[in-house]
Structure 1
Amino acid sequence: MPLKDIRVINGWWPFLICILFNQGHAQSSRLDSLRTVIKESNDDTIRINLYYEYGSSIETTFPDSAMWYYDLAKQRSISLNYAKGMAAYASHAITQLNNKGEFRTALEISEDALKIYEELGNPKELAVAYLNVGSEWHYLSDFQQAAEHYLKAKKIADEINDRRLQRIINNNLASIFINLKDYEKGLRYAEASLAIAKELENDYAISSSLFNMATVAIYLKEYNKALEYYAKIEEIGRRTKDFIVILDGWLGSADVCNAMKNRQKALTYYEKVVDFSKEHEFPEYEMYAYMGLSDLHMDAKKYANAKLTIQKGIALAEKLGSKYELMDLYQKASSLEEATGQFKKALEYRKEFEILKDSIVGEKSKTNIELLEAKYDSEKQASTIEKLESEKKIQELTIRQKNNLTYILVGTSVAILILSLMFYRNYIHRQKLQQQRIGELEKEKQLNAIEGVLKGEEQERSRLAKDLHDGLGGMLSGIKYSLQLMKGTLVMTPENQQAFERSMDMLDSSINEMRRVAQNMMPESLIKFGLEVALKDFCNEISASGALQINYQSIRLSDLKIDQTTSISIFRIAQELINNTMKHSGAKSAIVQLTQSNNLITLTVEDDGKGFKTKDLEQASGMGWTNIRYRTDLLKGTIHIDSKLGKGTSVHLEINI
């Protein structure tokens, strides 16, 4: 359960805040001062902002009263058509809405505020608006949308060097990557957030950063380190009297004790979280506690208790719209039903789990998040390039002035002429170095984006293929084995015997189809026997299916030795070309030729289809052709396409190894 910071409030009317909130004043004095200023103020916009400030001051102890003041400020803003006052409602109200689990409502008002700040806001206000929208998508487990808004906020925060915003965004990105099981990257963002939090001397910021670091420690089985982090978090919560932070410490400690098999201590912590969450209406923490309790009861084989806690957790997750947690609860429910022999219910829960899993951390979502991060890094590098080019122009102007002075003095001083020539030579050398550096940055930017996309794609292909083969394949094989055992013990009529045999045939077909899909995602022969065998098997399977007759040829490949990454990339290019041939060309036959000559590998794919205009590829937006170009660039290869209408297509790829 990684932690994110859920709200950032823009500072309204700082000159009034300085008057009202000197460091030594007590809370009651601040509230009295605010009420006095609100009563005496004749300026409607100032009064609106003071309503927000007053609500913020009492929202911890009197949340309903705080919401009343927020709503009052919003209605006054609407009546005055005061856009920024309407937008400010989001930053103040979403905390109360989130505590009640009303994430969709919080998202709607945050998006409304973002539209206003995109037109009227300064950079900091716009960054805060992006951050608030990202947090609500994060609550709803749409990690792609959350990451996109966080990275937009990070770009602005880095430009204006706002340390507070940088800290929050880094912490939220840490939570995103921990949810995606990229613990190394999650820890890197969390540590960056903690460093800024300590610089700002902000207790809550320190506790939230420590929470994400503790979560990573649990996943890496560094339990003592995790307990140390959670103890620090609980201490901060007690010192600041922040109930949420205390709950974070309790819940985290419970998870660690659970992982360490200290069940009694874990049970005590979880029950404290449930009771406290019900008392103070924190449904999200109650849900997480039920998830932990269900694991405890399952380990102890107390299936009735486990079922009750899982059902309570599912009800809260559905109410809150927390898809990531709901996915986890479906998996727990499936395991429980399987353990108690309720295989039909287990399968139903498993289906629900797989559907949510694909929508949250599937290949497309994970790849898109990595692409967004690569895009952000690329934009930072583009900014560096612009600075270098600006420095180069300044140097050019300086040299021009120096040269003019040289021409004036050339007749009177040979020494000045020599010095000028040497200076010019140095300038040319520096100019070449700068051009080289610019080229390197541009190339690095492209490779970072490509590597991010392809790495995520291949990892997800391997994971899904393994899940299909080991998970679903095992389940189907088990069903087949059970049916075969039943056949020997049942007496059936000829009609039932015939229906039983048809069912067994359909089950065999399902197993074969599942294996075919897993093989297409990550061919086992490619990992075990190499590129030539995998490509030959793929072509033979296509030919056997009747979709396209492929003549596969290989030349001088007996001593082929290339790394696995290159083999996978060449195989994916060939696979994509053949799939495009089957989908678009209308071809009846094709030739696939793989050749090695010294350090050069060539791949040729030709078909007798209808062909196309090669210029159309310049406007192609499909992922297929884009992936072919990305993989070719990553291999530093060249690709040539020859196609004419009615005369088929030939694609020729060359790669140096």
Structure 2
Amino acid sequence: MASLLSLLCTPRFSRSRLAPGLLLAALSLPAAATPPPQLPDSLVRALRTAPTDTDRVKTALRLSAALAATDTAQAGRYAHQALTLSRRRGYDYGTAYGWLQLCTLAIIRHDNAAAAYYGEQAQRVADALERRTPGAPRLGRLRASIANNRGNVADHLGQYEASARYYLQAATLLTSLRDSRTLLTVYCNLGNSFQVLGQPAQAARYWRQAVRLGAGPPAAAELLPVYLQLASWHLAQGRPDSANLALQSARPLARPGSLYTGEYYGTLAQYQLAVKQLPAARRAFEQAMPHLAQKGALGYQAKVLLGLGQLEAQAGNLAQARTQLQRSLGLSEQLADPQQVLENLDALTRVEDAAGQWQSALRYFQRRQRLRDTLAGTAVREQINQLETQYRTRQQAQQLQATRQLQEAQQVALNQQRQLNTIYLILLALLTVGVVLGMVLLRYRQRLARRARAQEQTMLTTRAMLQGQDEERRRVARDLHDGLGGMLSAVKLYLSSIRTRGGLPAESAPLFEQSIDHLDSSIAELRRVARNLMPEALLSFGLAPALHDLCLAVQQAGAVPVQLTTHGLTPRLAPATEVELYRIVQELLTNALRYARAGQILVQLMRHDDELHLVVEDDGQGFDITTNKPGVGLRSVQARAQYLGGHLQVQSQPGQGTSVSLELRLPAVASAASSPTTSLAYDANSGSTR
């Protein structure tokens, strides 16, 4: 006996059965649409002020449904009131729903005989309605509610095939009506029946379908019993982690006043019992009992007492465990629940065996076997014998299969190791490539930095050289103008005084006049050189007038028409920028006169916002820019363009002239105001400006 009952204090999770279909009748009222939830006091006032008997029947049924979770006795009185008024007024739908609500309350109280009677009466009225108005949608919901409740009654009586048949009938009706919120309740009940019939896969399938139907947001309140059944199923399968996930989903739905709050705490206690959290399990069982007692759920109270007995057995309190289990057994026998009686006898057998009461343990064991044989029958025993033979045959096959699986597992492990080695090699190769690329990139960046520093140094050198040249030009121009120019002017003044006074020999007069003319030419040439070195107009009046004077001087010197066009040069540019642009134009005009043999020269200087464009074109003989290296003058122009940060482009072909363009972005200063376009053309013959 001791070896037979060695698993005495191991928690055992049975095929628990909640009553998740009980909400169906309460939600399927005969109104056209279900109103939002109301407090019972509000419903009581609505019942007193209802204008018609039909409204009073509907309000009484809703009030009964609202009280079902907390006060089944008061809920029953309102259901009887609705039934009496409906029968007196000949309101058949109210009569059918009145019987249905009484059936629901009897199921909550676990009064199976009364529930069966009320369900038959509701079915009779519904059949009469079906004969008068076949196929009406609200009649379909009524018939589905009745089938669901009758399935609950058959489930409690151990008639599992009949309960599954009723539930499938309800599911068929609700599927055709597309009533998914009520269908999930029926799916939950179907899962219960398949679980008790020993088909857990079918049970889990229906429970998961119920979860999909009730998925929110927000989640349907009817999902609470579904999650509880899933948690119980996972516990029975030895998966407490999965059970905990189901309980976490159920927790937000287990609000105070819910029909299944007590069942939630009971299932939570079973989970805590499974994970050896005995104090927490005890508290959860104690929280469940008031809710169950308040609504009169005797069947689940028996389950809670069974759980408390298992808890005491795990804690080693065998006397208290015996007391709780005997209370649960007595309540289960009173309710005529054979499945619950089996679970209690099994637990009592284990407790008595652990306590050394072998005779009591044997007595409970024999009662359990007799009840199991009664429920199972001869056909089931034969089936068990066949399964035993199949098991022995299968056991030998499994041993061979286990050997093959071990070899396959070793091969898989070897293959996985090879794959890991390959992956490691690939990662090492990628890391090596990454390091090499990083080093190459670093060297490339260092080379770019050195090049940038060299360019910056070259720029600084060029800038210093150009500034030095300009300063030297300015100094030389000033010395020539103020020093030598002043002295030549004084000499001319002296000579002019001599000529005015007279007294020169007649033969010397022509030579004297020629000397004065040469002196005038020398002064003019001195002024021209000084102006070329640093034009006074550039410093005093700006770039446009200075270019005007330069083009005029170039035209007069080379007898070539020069056309100048400027735009947007007011206000003036920075002094250094004006000087460099003047030198660039000066050098390009000099080159055009010296080498191009041009018939006409065009100079355009345009400014728009912070962009400046300079173009110098001639129609001379041109040159091949691919074979001819730039001379000193063009290199000077390129250096000045680079100093300004501009882009210089030279276009030329033999016989097609030359075009030099400079694009320059000016520093961010005050925006240039619009100024009129100035276009000047110089006639080489007349020297006039157009």
Residue in 2 that maps onto 1:313? 328
Show the counterpart of 1:153.
Answer: 170
Other-structure match for 2:427: none
Q: 1:211 aligns with which of 218, 221, 228?
A: 228
> Hey, what does 2:275 align to over in structure 1?
260
CA distance in 2, matches of 1:363, 1:194: 38
Deviations 1:165-219 (A, max 9, x none): 3212211111122223422221111000011011594532221221122122112
Query: Would the aligned equivalents of 1:34 and 1:50 in 2 still touch at CA under 8 Å?
Result: yes
> 2:163, 2:384 → 1: CA distance?
20
Q: Which residue of 1 aligns with 2:99?
A: 90
Tell me how many residue pairs correspond in the alignment. 372
For residue 46 of structure 2, what is the aligned residue in structure 1? 33
Candidates 181, 188, 191, aligned match of 2:205: 188
- Secondary structure of the structure 1 residue equivalent to 2:334: helix
**Structure 1 residues 320 and 340: CA distance shift in structure 2, 3 A:** same
**How far off its partner does 1:97 sit?**
2.3
Identity of aligned residues (%): 18
Cα RMSD over matched residues?
Answer: 3.2
Residues 306 and 358 from structure 1, CA distance in 2 versus in 1: closer, same or farther, beyond 3 angstroms? same
| Correspondent of 2:115 among 97, 100, 106 | 106
Q: Is the 8 A contact 1:234 1:246 kept in 2?
A: no
Q: In 1, distance between residues paired with 2:212 and 2:328?
A: 35
Deviations 1:340-387 (A, max 9, x none): 34333333322322233345466868xxxxxxxxxxxxxxxxxxxxxx
* CA–CA separation in structure 2 for the residues paired with 1:95 and 1:266: 30
Change (3 A) 1:14 1:320: same
Q: Judge which range, 241-250 or 52-61, deviates more.
A: 52-61
Bigger Cα Rg: 2
1:72 is aligned to 2:85: no
SS at structure 2 position matched to 1:261:
coil
SS at match of 1:204: coil
- CA distance in 2 between counterparts of 1:202 and 1:529 reads 49
One-letter code aligned to 2:81: L
TM-score where L is the length of structure 1: 0.51
Secondary structure of 1:14's counterpart equals coil
Aligned counterparts of 1:363 and 1:199: Cα–Cα separation in 2: 47
Aligned-pair CA distance for 1:310: 0.8
Aligned match of 1:175 in 192, 196, 201?
Answer: 192
User: 1:138: which partner in 2?
Assistant: 155
Counterpart contact for 1:167–1:196, Cα < 8 Å: yes
CA distance in 2, matches of 1:330, 1:93: 32
| Secondary structure, aligned partner of 1:312 | helix
Letter in 1 for 2:144: A
Partners of 1:262 and 1:26 in 2: CA distance: 37
Shift of 1:157: 2.5
Does 324-333 or 25-34 show the bigger shift? 25-34
1:157 and 1:165 in contact (8 A); partners too: yes
Match in the other structure for 1:247: 262
Aligned to 2:369: 354
Write the distance in 1 (CA, Å) between the matches of 2:222 and 2:63: 23
Partner of 2:60: 51
Partner amino acid, structure 2, of 1:352: R
Name the residue aligned to 2:254: 237
Is the 1:2–1:211 contact (alpha carbons within 8 Å) kept by the matching residues of 2? no
Shift of 1:61: 5.2
Aligned to 1:602: none
C-alpha separation in 2, matches of 1:235 and 1:363: 46
Task: Check conservation: 1:51, 1:73, Cα contact below 8 A.
Answer: yes
* Greater RCO (CA < 8 Å, at least 6 residues apart): 2
Instruction: Tell me how far apart the structure 1 counterparts of residues 58 and 221 of structure 2 sit (CA, whole Å).
Output: 25
Q: How far apart, in 1, do the equivalents of 2:49 and 2:183 lie?
A: 35
Q: Equivalents in 2 of 1:140, 1:253: separation in Å?
A: 26
8 Å CA contact 1:58, 1:66 repeated in 2: yes
Higher helix share: 1
Instruction: Identify if the C-alpha distance between structure 1 residues 59 and 166 changes in structure 2 by more than 3 Å, giving closer, same or farther.
Output: closer
Do 2:227 and 2:250's aligned partners in 1 also have CA atoms closer than 8 Å?
A: yes
SS of equivalent residue, structure 1 residue 6: helix
Change (3 A) 1:219 1:56: closer
Residues 202/89 of structure 1: CA separation in 2 closer, same or farther (3 Å cut): farther
C-alpha spacing 1:12/1:100, structure 2 compared with 1 (3 Å)? closer
Contact residue 40 and residue 63 of structure 2 kept, 8 A: no
Q: Secondary structure at the match of 2:110?
A: coil
Q: Deviations for 1:452-473, whole angstroms, at most 9, x for unmatched residues?
A: xxxxx9864445x5xxxxxxxx
How many angstroms does 1:338 deviate by?
Answer: 2.9
Query: Are residues 1:127 and 2:144 paired?
Result: yes
Task: Report the Cα offset of residue 278 of structure 1.
Answer: 4.1
Task: Evaluate the alpha carbon distance shift between residue 236 and residue 138 of structure 1 in structure 2; reply closer, same or farther with a 3 A threshold.
Answer: same
Alignment of 1:5-44 (within 5 A): 5-7=20-22, 8-9=24-25, 11-15=28-32, 21=35, 28-29=41-42, 31-37=44-50, 40-41=51-52, 44=53
Kept in 1: contact 2:21–2:149 (CA 8 A): yes
Listed as ranges, the gaps of 5+ residues in structure 1 are 366-456, 466-521, 531-657
Q: For 1:124 and 1:13, locate their aligned partners in 2 and report how far apart those are by CA, in whole Å.
A: 9
Give yes or no for the alignment of 1:272 onto 2:281.
no
Query: Aligned pair in 2 of structure 1 residues 273, 69: CA closer, same or farther (>3 Å)?
Result: closer
Shift of 1:336: 2.4
Q: Deviations over 1:50-83 (max 9, x none)?
A: 4323433444455433322211222234445554
Name the CA shift for 1:73/1:321 in 2 (closer, same or farther; >3 Å): same
TM-score normalised according to structure 2 size? 0.49
Q: Deviations over 1:110-152 (max 9, x none)?
A: 1221233233243332222111100112223321221121122
1:269-289 per-residue CA deviation (whole Å, 9 max, x = no partner) reads 223323554466443332112
> Residues of 2 paired with 1:524 and 1:175: CA distance?
27
After superposition, the Cα gap between the structure-2 partners of 1:163 and 1:459, relative to the gap in structure 1 and judged at 3 Å, is: farther
Q: Conserved in 1, the CA contact under 8 Å of 2:231 and 2:246?
A: yes
Structure-2 change in CA distance of 1:165 and 1:200 (3 Å): farther
Mark the runs of 5 or more structure 2 residues left unpaired by the alignment. Answer: 1-15, 131-138, 398-690
Structure 1 residues 87 and 30, CA gap change in structure 2 (3 angstroms)? closer
**Structure-to-structure mapping, 1:258-657, within 5 angstroms:** 258-278=273-293, 281-360=296-375, 460-462=384-386, 465=388, 522=389
Find the residue that maps to 2:20 and give its secondary structure: coil
Secondary structure at 1:203's aligned position in 2?
Answer: coil
Read off the aligned partner of 1:188 and give its amino acid letter. R
Q: CA-to-partner distance for each residue in 1:515-556, whole Å, 9 max, x for gaps?
A: xxxxxxx488877999xxxxxxxxxxxxxxxxxxxxxxxxxx
For 2:332 and 2:265, locate their aligned partners in 1 and report how far apart those are by CA, in whole Å.
Answer: 20
- Give yes or no for contact 2:68–2:295 (8 Å, CA) kept in 1: no
- Output the CA distance in 2 between the equivalents of 1:528 and 1:92: 52
Residue identity matched to 1:163: S
User: Whole-Å Cα distance in 2 between the matches of residues 237 and 74 of structure 1?
Assistant: 31
The whole-number CA distance in structure 1 between the counterparts of 2:116 and 2:315 is: 40
Q: 1: distance between equivalents of 2:124 and 2:159?
A: 20
**Equivalence for 1:373:** none
**Do 1:317 and 1:325's aligned partners in 2 also have CA atoms closer than 8 Å?**
yes
Change (3 A) 1:76 1:245: closer
